[in-house]
Structure 1
């Protein structure tokens, strides 16, 4: 694991994220994704969406939960 990934993991593990209060950990995810994503948005439900090449013909989605 490279240093950037390890730092991201440590930030995730140290960020409070009880259900309904995922804001702090979502900020960590947005900050990390900013290093590679072409577009980062948050929808009405608080989902963080990071897109690489958002206009590509084919798409792949990786989904996960931010709450504990």
Structure 2
């Protein structure tokens, strides 16, 4: 949706912009980054990383998935 120009912004990880640019190279010079707005203009929100981390448990029978 972002790569097609159907939305003005999205909250995501930095690498996600590269995926959008790969899908539509014409947007590369039209996009930028900014911090998530906070309660006041001089205090942005903290970094958001929740829910995007993956792990394989030490005792898992699927250790090959961690490589």
TM-score (norm 1): 0.25
Q: Which has the higher strand share?
A: 1
Which structure carries more relative contact order (alpha carbon 8 Å, separation 6+)? Answer: 1
Name the larger-Rg structure. Answer: 2
TM-score (norm 2): 0.26
